[in-house]
């Protein structure tokens, strides 16, 4: 006879699940509303999504630090709260981009918003667990929703992008599972804290190195696909080009920070154990990623593709901090993505505002550089704001990403990798070239003869979002102290 | 006013932001008024500055991210005081003598932003704040060169930006490393210069850091072989851009050496006197020869600028009070003289739309006032006694004489070579018959141009005859700096070379 399973509610600690449950319940509510009444406007769904995400935000903030729940599957430590906060804030800021003045196909379906919320919950699961299976479930939930969201843009390119992303994502998932299997084979566990203990104990055994490192390498490949490190980056520019600007901007932040958190948990303990080959591998990947991506970004003709390569290069930049295993390095990863969020949000929203139904200035690209030539004479404020985002991406002080770069390079210097810091500095200088290119087009070239406003898609909500992004990007120096001490505190209580 | 430095920094910033709302028609008057107020404020700073005190004055401190040692920390001493005044004065003169009418509003707003960064660089005592102004100065300058420049302006502007940006990023790594060392020694983070001064670094570390900072400063100066961006920038920039670039932006680099490299790495600086001085001498002789070979008047002055910056570097690396005082005075004189020369080239360019010397000849007969002022500035640039150019050059070379007489002799050729290319420029342009028919109808300087140039002439002669009011505060601060470096130096060679000699009094 079976033993009755008795689980008390207190033991389950369901509160650890509350942020994700809010998002899921919200998504179901949107579907229900659609079931009851058709023909509701997208503004309703956008506002509902924002409100649901706001509740989600509150639920995340009120989580207690360092708690486990749901059969110990959930791990709410400082890192997971930070990750969830970035995910939720990014989602709140990106969803209003649906309120364009032109009609776009995908936003007329309430399913879009439901899927969006499901995706958010998936990403939240990903960062809030150290169980490899739950991470995988979160990853796949989020990714599958994301593929669909890209395809819903309903152009030929977006379907192509979605399929490309799906294929590559499936491969990454395969690598993730194989990596998890390899880790399980050595340690007999899929809970990372258990795995770390077993590895610690077995590290000295002869012949154990290859399976241990092998598992890590497989995982690194999976992470590489999702964070888009070179040589696993090939999907990135095409997918960014094919998807709508808001989705592309979203992809440059949220999936990456989620996967970075997973990488922190996963690769962190390898580095902690003193397995130097993993550290070296990460550093090589970081250097290769930022250098090659910068080279490729230089030759792009389309601003969105340039931003795709730029986001690859930024990922490489951040990855360097992952190899260091210091509190400051981990904190600066969050700081960097937090600031990158606002800058990229602004840049992609500007592209979105200038997006016409069909390419206007080029037979293939929606946002070729030439589209922006002489923008300062057509729309001075728009040009200045776009220039602020570009300068921030370059790392010119006092704009936000300068502070991100400052802390990352500083933590690299602290860890004693001066040469790496110099490579990173020189890479920032290479990157300056292609960001400047857009500024040069906007400010220094004459507008085309038939110059007209390019804000095809302009609407008040979009301008509000750009305003928020520009404000944070410009004024970030003043929030650096509270922001960085909060992040450092959260990271250090998690034991990183 | 206790917080006059903040006012100096933020006044142009607020003015630039408010300027967006000023009507295009009145923007010129607005620009002139703002620059005048700023200039008067900087004179007020001079009046309330205590010349006898060589240390930092008007110190302001406001935490930005104090856990990480980043604070808004300002202060000024004799070394930076006059550069700040020069920056505000050159901006004023630049705006007064503007002849550009296209997009004037954007230009004036950019100039005001540039003024913020120029003042900011010279008054900040926190490395990150310094870096912030240092980097941001590239942005308005990029726009000024790129939007109002000549044919290849975009190339020149981007080259200018990328060169400087690369150098300063390496310098940033150096700064972060110093902060890291400070943290590991003292347990707290600090980017405050005064804290960094107290840090005694081992020679091996100093050597690496010296080169990291060197790269940032050398590109800005610009030192050979990093000078290639400058002729392009000058060649393409509009007059006001060249004036500010030559007068103030280049000084950021040479100021950086005095403010950062020397007091922080005294031993490494002494150890590298020979290579740095060699580069400086190559700069002096090589670029002087290049200047002689130019056919474009503006390029002659651009290369002569590099040549004179070589003297400044040499004076700085004399590591004694005369040399450093001389080099700082030379920074001021070079700023005023080269600024004036670029203005003068702008005057003739506005009239004839060419800068080729072969197009001119006999201008002295057509434009006598112009020829006179040009002549005075040219003599000052060559270093004629009783002009401002003589004092700085003499003190710098006299300082370096104690290090190496032979090198000083080589550097001294700058005066001869300078005379060669400058006089040949003057001969080709002003003397002889008027060869080009078009030039016969040229008008002489108008009142607007005179308004910009006459004050500069007055300063050139005033400070050439009676430099004391400026030299004394500089000298007091430099002596404090040098005796501090002497205390701090660890190697015996450094102690022997760095000293406040007694002969400074006579040199004055």
CB-count burial class (<10 Å; 0-12, 13-18, 19+) for A459:
middle
Chain A 372-401, residues with CB within 8 Å of chain B CB atoms: 376, 391, 394-398
**Would you call A484 and B179 a contact, using CB atoms and an 8 Å cutoff?**
no
**Nearest-by-Cβ selection for B173 from A425, A440, A480:** A425
Computed on alpha carbons and rounded to an integer, the radius of gyration of chain B in Å comes to 22
- Whether residues B131 and A397 touch (CB distance < 8 A) is answered with yes
Q: Rounded to whole angstroms, how far apart are CA atoms A428 and A291?
A: 9
Quick count: other Cβ atoms within 10 Å of Cβ B21?
6
Structure tokens, B304: 């002569």
CA dist A163 and A146 (Å) reads 11
Close Cβ partners of A85 (under 8 Å, ≥ 6 residues apart): A57, A60, A61
Per-residue pLDDT, averaged over B434-452, amounts to: 83
pLDDT per residue as tens digits for the range A66-89: 888 888 888 888 899 999 999 999
Mean pLDDT of A291-316: 92
- CA geometry: angle at B219 spanning A407 and B128, to 5°? 30
Q: What is the reported pLDDT for A411?
A: 93
Q: Cβ–Cβ contacts within 10 Å for residue B438, how many?
A: 11
Q: Which residues of B touch A411 (CB under 8 A)?
A: none
Q: What pairing do the DSSP bridges indicate for beta strands A74-76 and A67-69?
A: antiparallel
A481 to chain B: which residues are within 8 Å by CB?
63-68
For residue B249, with 0-12 CB atoms within 10 Å meaning exposed, 13-18 middle and 19 or more buried, which class applies? buried
Tokens for B2?
């206790």
Residue B503 has pLDDT above 70, yes or no: no
Residues B186, B191, B195: CA angle, nearest 5 degrees: 55
| Distance between CA atoms of residues A197 and A199, nearest Å | 5
**What is the C-alpha separation between A348 and B373, in angstroms, rounded?**
54
Which residues of chain B neighbour A414 with C-beta distances below 8 Å?
Answer: 180, 183
SS3 A146: helix
For residue B208, list chain A residues with Cβ-Cβ distance below 8 A. 418
Which stretch of DSSP H or E encloses residue B382?
A: helix B368-382
Asked if B132's CB is within 8 angstroms of A429's CB, the reply is: no
- pLDDT value at position B368? 86
pLDDT band (50, 70, 90) for residue A2 = low
Query: What's chain A's length in residues?
Result: 496
Residue of A306, A449, A295 lying closest to A386 (CA atoms): A306
Sequence-separated (6 or more) residues with CB below 8 Å from residue B478? B54, B78, B79, B321, B324, B325, B328
Cα separation of A222 and A265, whole Å?
14
Least-confidence region, from A421-435, B136-150, B441-455: B441-455
Place A218 in a pLDDT band, splitting at 50, 70 and 90: very high
- Per-residue confidence (pLDDT) for residue A334, from 0 to 100: 94
B169 touches chain A (CB under 8 A): yes
Helix residue spans in B257-366 (DSSP H): 262-264, 266-271, 273-293, 297-316, 321-352, 363-366
- How far apart are the C-alpha atoms of B170 and A256, rounded to whole Å? 28
∠ CA(A439), CA(A442), CA(A443), 5° rounding?
Answer: 80
Give the nearest partner residue to A429 out of B157, B165, B180, using CB atoms. Answer: B165
Is pTM beyond 0.90 here?
yes
Q: Which chain A residues are Cβ-neighbours of B180 within 8 angstroms?
A: 410, 413-414
User: Which of A209, A214, A223 is closest to A282 using CA atoms?
Assistant: A223
The DSSP element (H or E) to which A240 belongs, if any, is helix A235-242
Select from A396, A413, A436 the Cβ nearest to the Cβ of B173: A413
Q: For A450-473, what is the mean pLDDT?
A: 85
Integer CA distances (angstroms), B475 to B46, B179, B393, in order? 15, 30, 15
End-to-end CA distance of chain B: 32
Contact between B253 and B280 (Cβ < 8 Å): no
Whether B380 contacts B419, CB under 8 Å: no
Do residue B154 and residue A444 have CB atoms under 8 angstroms apart? Answer: yes
Burial B475-491, CB ≥16 within 10 A → b, else e = bbbbbbbbebbbebbee
Helix ranges (DSSP H) in A188-208: 192-202
Helix and strand numbers, DSSP H then E, in chain B? 25, 2
As a whole number of angstroms, the longest Cα–Cα distance in chain B is 74
pLDDT digits (tens, 9 = 90+) for A196-209: 888 888 888 887 88
Do the Cβ atoms of B65 and A484 come within 8 Å? yes
Q: Which of A104, A99, A105 is nearest to A466 (CA)?
A: A99
Residues A303-323 as b/e (b if ≥16 CB within 10 A, e otherwise) read bbbbbbbbbbbbbbbbbbbbb
Q: Which of A349, A199, A328 is nearest to A272 (CA)?
A: A199
Enter the DSSP assignment of A1.
-
Residue in A77, A27, A74, A78 with CA at minimum distance from that of residue A53: A27
Nearest to A429 among B143, B169, B179 (CB): B169
* pLDDT at site B504: 46
Task: Among B64, B66, B169, select the one facing A477 at the smallest CB separation.
Answer: B64
Place of tokens 């650890």: A16
The span from the CA of A62 to the CA of B412, in Å, is 73
**Element at A9 (helix H, strand E):** helix A9-12
Q: Between helices B138-148 and B153-186, what is the axis angle to 10°?
A: 180
pLDDT grade for B502, boundaries at 50, 70 and 90: low
**Tally of CB atoms within 10 A around A101:** 13
A418 in contact with B, Cβ within 8 Å: yes
| Inter-chain CB proximity B135 and A478 less than 8 Å | no
Residue B17 scores a pLDDT above 80: yes
pLDDT of A487 over the 70 cut: yes
Q: Which residues in chain A have Cβ-Cβ distances shorter than 8 Å to B64?
A: 477-478, 480-481
Given pLDDT bands bounded at 50, 70 and 90, which one contains residue B235?
confident
List the one residue out of B61, B60, B54, B10 whose CA is nearest residue B34. B10
Chain B positions touching A396 (Cβ under 8 A) are 135-136, 138-139, 165
Place of tokens 């012949």: A207
What is the structure's pLDDT at A1? 60
State the ipTM, two decimals: 0.90
Mean pLDDT on B296-309? 90
Mean pLDDT of A152-174: 90
Q: What is the DSSP letter of B483?
A: H
| B179 to chain A: closest CA residue | A410
Residue with tokens 């390569």: A309
CA distance A483 to chain B (A): 10
Q: A374 to chain B: nearest residue by CA?
A: B147
Phi, psi of A395 (to 5 degrees): 100, 30
Write down the pLDDT at residue A90.
95
- Residue B496 confidence (pLDDT) above 90: no
CA distance B107 to chain A (A): 12
Instruction: Give B135's contacts in chain A (Cβ within 8 Å).
Output: 396-397, 402
CA distance A395 to chain B (A): 9
Confidence of residue B505 (pLDDT cuts 50, 70, 90): very low
Q: Which of A378, A362, A379 is nearest to A370 (CA)?
A: A362
Give which of A274, A324, A257, A281 is closest to A496, Cα–Cα: A324
With H, G, I as helix, E, B as strand and everything else as coil, classify residue A4: coil
Give the integer Cα–Cα distance in Å for B153 and B139.
15
Of A9-23, A324-338, B198-212, the poorest mean pLDDT is in A9-23
In whole angstroms, what is the distance from residue B435 CA to residue B454 CA?
29
| B67 contacts in chain A (CB < 8 Å) | 481, 484-485
Torsion of the alpha carbons at B223, B225, B231 and B233, rounded to the nearest 10: -80
Q: By the 8 A CB rule, do B80 and B100 touch?
A: no
**Per the CB < 8 Å rule, is B67 touching A432?**
no
Strand partners, B70: B65
Cα angle, residue B341 at apex, residues B244 and B28 outer, rounded to 5°: 50
What is the four-CA torsion angle of A124, A126, A128, A133, rounded to 10 degrees? 140
d(CA B181, CA B185): 6
Query: What mean pLDDT value characterizes chain A?
Result: 89
Given B64, B132, B170, which is nearest A481 (Cβ)? Answer: B64
């Amino acid at each position: 006879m079976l033993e009755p399973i008795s689980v008390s509610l207190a033991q389950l600690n369901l509160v650890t699940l509350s942020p994700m449950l809010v998002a899921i319940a919200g998504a179901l509510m949107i579907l229900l509303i659609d079931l009851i009444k058709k023909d509701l406007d997208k503004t309703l769904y956008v506002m509902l999504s924002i409100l649901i995400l706001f509740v989600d935000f509150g639920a995340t903030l009120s989580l207690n630090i360092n708690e486990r729940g749901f059969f110990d599957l959930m791990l709410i430590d400082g890192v997971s709260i930070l990750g969830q906060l970035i995910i939720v804030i990014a989602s709140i800021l990106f969803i209003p981009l649906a309120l364009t003045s032109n009609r776009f196909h995908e936003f007329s379906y309430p399913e879009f918003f439901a899927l969006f919320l499901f995706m958010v919950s998936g990403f939240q699961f990903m960062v809030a667990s150290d169980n490899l299976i739950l991470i995988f479930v979160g990853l796949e939930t989020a990714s599958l929703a994301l593929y669909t969201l890209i395809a819903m843009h309903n152009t030929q390119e977006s379907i192509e992008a979605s399929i490309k992303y799906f294929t590559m994502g499936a491969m990454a998932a395969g690598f993730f599972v194989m990596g998890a299997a390899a880790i399980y084979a050595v340690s007999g566990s899929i809970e990372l804290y258990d795995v770390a203990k077993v590895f610690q104990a077995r590290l000295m055994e002869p012949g154990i190195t290859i399976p241990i490192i092998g598992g890590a390498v497989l995982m690194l490949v999976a992470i590489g696909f999702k964070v888009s490190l070179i040589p696993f980056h090939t999907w990135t520019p095409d997918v960014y080009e094919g998807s709508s600007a808001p989705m592309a901007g979203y992809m440059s932040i949220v999936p990456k920070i989620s996967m970075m958190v997973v990488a922190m948990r996963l690769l962190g303990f390898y580095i902690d154990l003193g397995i130097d080959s993993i550290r070296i591998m990460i550093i090589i990947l970081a250097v290769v990623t930022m250098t090659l991506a910068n080279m490729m970004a230089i030759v792009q003709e389309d601003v969105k593709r340039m931003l795709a390569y730029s986001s690859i290069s930024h990922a490489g930049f951040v990855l360097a901090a992952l190899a260091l295993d210091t509190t400051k390095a981990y904190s600066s990863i969050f700081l960097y993505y937090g600031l990158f969020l606002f800058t990229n949000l602004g840049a992609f929203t500007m592209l979105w505002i200038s997006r016409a139904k069909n390419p206007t200035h080029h037979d293939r690209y929606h946002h070729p550089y030439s589209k922006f030539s002489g923008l300062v004479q057509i729309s001075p404020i728009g040009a200045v704001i776009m220039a602020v985002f570009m300068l921030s991406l370059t790392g010119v002080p006092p704009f936000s990403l300068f502070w991100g770069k400052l802390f990352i390079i500083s933590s690299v210097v602290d860890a004693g990798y001066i040469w790496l810091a110099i490579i990173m500095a020189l890479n920032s200088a290479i990157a300056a070239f292609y960001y400047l290119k857009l500024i040069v087009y906007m400010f220094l070239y004459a507008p085309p003869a038939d110059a007209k406003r390019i804000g095809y898609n302009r609407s008040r909500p979009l301008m509000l979002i750009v305003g928020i992004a520009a404000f944070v990007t410009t004024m970030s120096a003043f929030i650096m102290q509270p922001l960085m001490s909060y992040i450092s505190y959260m990271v250090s209580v998690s034991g990183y | 006013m206790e917080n006059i430095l903040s006012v100096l920094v933020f006044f142009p910033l607020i003015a630039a932001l408010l300027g967006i709302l000023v009507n295009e028609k009145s923007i010129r008057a607005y620009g002139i008024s703002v620059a005048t107020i700023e200039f008067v404020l900087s004179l007020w700073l001079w009046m309330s500055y205590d010349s006898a005190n060589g240390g930092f004055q008007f110190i302001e401190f406001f935490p930005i991210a104090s856990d990480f040692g980043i604070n808004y920390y300002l202060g000024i001493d004799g070394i930076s005081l006059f550069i700040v005044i020069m920056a505000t004065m050159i901006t004023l003169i630049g705006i007064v003598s503007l002849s550009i009418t296209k997009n004037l509003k954007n230009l004036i707003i950019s100039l005001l932003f540039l003024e913020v960064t120029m003042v900011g660089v010279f008054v900040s005592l926190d490395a990150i704040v310094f870096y912030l102004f240092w980097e941001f100065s590239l942005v308005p300058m990029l726009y000024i060169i790129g939007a109002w420049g000549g044919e290849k302006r975009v190339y020149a502007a981007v080259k200018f930006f990328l060169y400087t940006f690369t150098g300063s990023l390496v310098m940033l790594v150096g700064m972060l490393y110093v902060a890291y060392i400070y943290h590991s020694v003292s347990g707290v983070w600090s980017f405050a210069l005064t804290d960094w001064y107290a840090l005694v670094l081992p020679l091996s570390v100093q050597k690496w850091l010296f080169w990291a900072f060197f790269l940032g400063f050398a590109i800005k100066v610009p030192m050979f072989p990093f000078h290639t961006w400058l002729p392009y920038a000058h060649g393409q920039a509009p007059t006001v851009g060249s004036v500010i670039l030559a007068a103030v932006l280049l000084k950021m680099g040479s100021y950086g050496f005095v403010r950062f490299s020397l007091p922080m790495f005294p031993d490494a600086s002494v150890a590298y006197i020979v290579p740095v001085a060699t580069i400086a001498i190559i700069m002096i002789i090589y670029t002087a020869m290049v200047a002689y070979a130019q056919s474009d008047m503006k390029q002659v002055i651009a290369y002569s600028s590099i040549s004179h910056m070589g003297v400044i570097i040499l004076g700085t690396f004399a590591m004694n009070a005369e040399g450093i005082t001389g080099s700082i005075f030379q920074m001021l004189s070079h700023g005023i003289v080269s600024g004036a020369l670029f203005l003068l080239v702008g005057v003739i360019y506005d009239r004839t739309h060419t800068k080729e010397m072969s197009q001119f000849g006999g201008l002295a007969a057509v434009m006598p006032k112009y020829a006179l002022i040009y002549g005075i500035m040219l003599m000052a640039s060559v270093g004629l006694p009783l002009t401002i150019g003589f004092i700085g050059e003499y003190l710098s070379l006299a300082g370096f004489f104690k290090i190496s007489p032979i090198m000083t002799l080589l550097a001294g050729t700058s005066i001869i070579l300078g005379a060669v290319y400058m006089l040949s420029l003057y001969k080709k342009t002003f003397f002889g018959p008027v060869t080009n028919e078009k030039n016969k109808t040229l008008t002489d300087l108008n009142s607007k141009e005179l308004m910009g140039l006459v004050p500069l002439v007055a300063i050139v002669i005033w400070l050439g005859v009676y430099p004391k009011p400026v030299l004394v505060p500089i000298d007091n601060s430099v002596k404090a700096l040098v005796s501090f470096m002497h205390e701090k130096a660890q190697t015996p060679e450094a102690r022997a070379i760095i000293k406040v000699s007694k002969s400074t009094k006579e040199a004055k």
